[in-house]
Amino acid sequence: MNLNPQILIIEDEKNIAMYIASILRGASYRSEFATSGICGLNLAASLCPDLILLDLGLPDIYGFEIIEKIKSSSDIPIIVISARTKESDKVKALDMGADDYITKPFGSGELLARIRACLRHHQKTTRSCTVYKHLNFTIDTDKRLVLLNEEPVHLTQIEYKLLCLLSENAGKVMTYSSIIEKIWGPFMDDNNQILRVNMANIRRKIEENPAQPVHVFTEIGVGYRMAENDAG
Amino acid sequence: MNLNPQILIIEDEKNIAMYIASILRGASYRSEFATSGICGLNLAASLCPDLILLDLGLPDIYGFEIIEKIKSSSDIPIIVISARTKESDKVKALDMGADDYITKPFGSGELLARIRACLRHHQKTTRSCTVYKHLNFTIDTDKRLVLLNEEPVHLTQIEYKLLCLLSENAGKVMTYSSIIEKIWGPFMDDNNQILRVNMANIRRKIEENPAQPVHVFTEIGVGYRMAENDAG
DNA sequence: ATTTGTCGTTAAAATATTGTTAAGATTTTC
DNA sequence: GAAAATCTTAACAATATTTTAACGACAAAT
């Protein structure tokens, strides 16, 4: 069963946020708020929403920075909602990586249509299959279940995210810093000690012999790579 | 060599079409016209442009039909340009598959920014090729993987960087000092002992007979040169 | 032919990175 | 609120990489 798409609203004016949320609810999207930029960035990292609606006029962080940070660590589509009609703002936001730009006031129909277009567009890039198959284990992201030799294995939140991330990118090396950014968010420092510990825990759970892994290899000085089997 | 993106303009009013074309030319896009819907559909099929700018108010075919037809047979991004500001039109066009909707009058900056966003978005699906191919080995820089006779070869960080650098410049001699500068940075002293060791290690890994290399040749007194195969 | 200098090779020393364990800190669960 | 699980941090051993040094083979120069 797939949940309805989750949308994160980053907007400092409560009443506008509430208004948007009600529109989204009417279209049966799940929505979350953030009333500041920092808060928004953290929520974006922890929730991994399907889409972000971003107001540019935030109190703490310069709106364009948020676009940059989110896009550097993820692929989440961003629709900018702004009172600024100046062309230079639109250009800047779009070039920073925003996927669309709507100026206030806007109609609920247009907002929803643009959200649909954005989500549709994005789905083409993200594979629809929710099961990663490997040599002797599978990940079912739909059920959040990992089976090792048909037997369920318990993974903690972080371990699970990490395994999924590597599965998604099976075959190619993911650098330590990119992994850390994707799992712990953009404010985590680049110390990969914590990553090493988690990888050790994962290997203890899914590798026959953790000292000679067959699933996740380490490229010394660079990062980790998951074996490219029939993942996907 | 990659040509600049080609953009198809489907617009019945000549002067508007010319205006758009001049904007595109200014940003060094290649552009083509179609002044009717039928004509546009044919050109879309034969040219396979990178993007389509579509005016909704065409004489022959109902504009929405064009969106539907193009999208059903291809993945070309479509930006609708229209004088209609009615929300229902926007919603309909976007839901039909259009990727963006701009209302006239629009600024050239916004148009170009939206085109960039659209192209960028679309490129993600068709990822660029990052593979260097040589006689019996390949380097996949996306996966950071070196295959020798289809078998993965392990290279250390320096070895890998070095091999990539030479591949990038296949066919031409790279001087020792330029190599050292690129790999160890500008503060490394010009002693190429360390480079010799690394080259020996690389040759042991990728050359059949390291004493008679076929991939990386040394130009005595000057530097190293990688054989110019179909690298790229 | 001898000298000079460059290059390839090997091995050992120095350095850096990674895996592992265990002990607090924090959160979640009951 | 206590117990369990999880997350984080620190220390240390194991391992891999990078650097340095020494030396023989070979080519160019005298």
Lowest mean pLDDT among A54-68, A155-169, A172-186, A192-206: A54-68
| pLDDT for position A71 | 87
Please indicate whether the domains covering B6-125 and B131-226 agree at the CATH topology level. Answer: no
Question: Would you state the structure tokens that stand for residue B79, as one six-digit string?
Answer: 């930006």
What residue spans define the domains of chain B?
A: 6-125, 131-226
Q: Domain A6-125 adopts which CATH fold?
A: Rossmann fold (3.40.50)
Q: Tell whether pTM > 0.75.
A: no
Q: How many CA within 13 A on the CB side of residue B153?
A: 22
Over range B206-230, report the average pLDDT.
90
Give CA–CA dist B47/B10, Å, rounded: 13
**Mean of all residue pLDDT scores within chain B:** 90
Model confidence pLDDT, tens digit, residues A80-129 = 999 887 899 999 999 999 999 999 889 999 999 999 999 988 776 555 56
Cα angle for residues A156, A158, A161 (degrees, 5° grid): 105
- pLDDT at position A120, please? 87
- Give residue B120's pLDDT: 87
- Å between CA of B194 and C1' of D19: 7
Average pLDDT, chain A: 89
Over the stretch B97-113, which tens digit does the pLDDT of each residue have?
A: 999 999 988 999 999 99
A199 contact to strand C (CB, 7 A limit): yes
d(CA B48, CA B51): 8
**Are the CB atoms for B103 and B111 separated by under 8 Å?**
no
What mean pLDDT do residues B122-150 have? 83
The set of residues, in sequence order, having a beta carbon less than 8 Å from that of A60 and lying 6+ positions away, is A36, A37, A38
In chain C, which nucleotides are within 7 Å of a protein Cβ? 6-11, 17-22
* Rounded distance between C-alpha atoms, residue B230 and residue B140, angstroms: 14
Distance (Å, rounded) from C-alpha B116 to C-alpha B108?
12
**pLDDT band at residue B232 under the 50/70/90 scheme:** low
CA dist., res. B99 & res. B117, Å (int): 10
Nucleotides of strand D under 7 angstroms from a protein beta carbon: 5-11, 15-22, 27-28
B210 touches strand C (CB under 7 A): yes
CA geometry: angle A222, A225, A228, nearest 5 deg:
150
CA B151/CA B138 separation, integer angstroms: 10
Non-local CB neighbours of B212 within 8 Å, separated by 6+ positions? none
Note the pLDDT of residue A186. Answer: 81
> Is pLDDT at A65 greater than 60 in this prediction?
yes
Interface of A with B (CB under 8 A): 75, 87-88, 90-91, 94-95, 97-100, 107, 109-110, 112-114, 116-117, 120-121, 124-125, 171-173, 219-222, 225, 228
**Architecture of the A131-226 domain:** Orthogonal Bundle (1.10)
* pLDDT reported for residue B2: 57
Residue A111 in tokens:
């907002």
For range B17-22, the mean pLDDT: 94
Q: How far is CA A41 from CA A48, A186, B58, in A?
A: 10, 8, 44
* pLDDT tens-digit readout, A173-190: 999 999 999 899 888 888
Percent of chain A with pLDDT over 70: 94
Measure CA of the first residue to CA of the last residue in chain A; give whole Å: 18
Q: What is the pLDDT of residues A27-54, one digit of tens each?
A: 999 998 888 888 888 888 777 889 999 9
Q: Which residues pair with A139 in a beta bridge?
A: A132, A146
Q: Which residue is nearest to nucleotide D8 (CA to C1')?
A: A194
Per-residue confidence (pLDDT) for residue A1, from 0 to 100: 43
Crossing angle between the packed helical segments B14-26 and B108-125, to the nearest 10 degrees: 70
Q: What is the pLDDT of residue B1?
A: 45
pLDDT (mean) for A117-143: 80
